[in-house]
Amino acid sequence: MAGPEERLNFMLGGNYQHDNTHDNQLITFDGTNTGLFKGAPFEYRYAGSGIDNQSNQRITTKQPSEASITNWPHALTAQASVRYTKDKRIFDGCLRDQGDGIFSSGFGLLSNVLHGIFTIPDPGSPSYIPPGGCATFEGRLELPPLQLPREQRSHRASGAQYLMRGGLSWKRSMTQCCTANVTRGFKSGSFGTLPLSHERAGQPFKQEELTAYEWVSRASISNTNH
**What are the pLDDT digits (tens) for 163-206?**
888 888 888 776 778 889 999 888 888 887 777 777 777 778 78
Instruction: Please check whether residue 2 lies inside any domain of the structure.
Output: no
Contacts of residue 102, defined as CB under 8 A and 6 or more positions apart, other chains included, come to: 46, 47, 48, 49
Contact between 111 and 198 (Cβ < 8 Å) = no
Q: In the chain, how many domains are there?
A: 1
Model confidence at 220: pLDDT above 60: no
Decide if 3 is inside a domain: no
In a domain, 176, yes or no: yes
Residue 165, domain extent: 8-219
- Report if residue 78 sits inside a domain: yes
Residues 43 and 33 sit within 8 Å (Cβ to Cβ): yes
pLDDT in tens, 118-152: 888 899 888 899 998 888 887 654 555 567 887 76
**Sequence-ordered list of residues with C-beta below 8 angstroms from that of 156, at least 6 positions apart, any chain:** 88, 89, 90, 91
Asked if residue 125 is part of any domain, the answer here is yes
Domain assignment of residue 175, yes or no:
yes
Is residue 225 domain-resident? no
Tens digits of residue pLDDT in 48-72: 677 888 888 888 888 877 666 666 6
DSSP reduced 3-state for 202? helix
**Residue pLDDT, tens place only, 79-93:** 888 888 888 888 888
Decide if 167 is inside a domain: yes
* Separation between Cα atoms, residue 175 and residue 162, nearest integer Å: 36
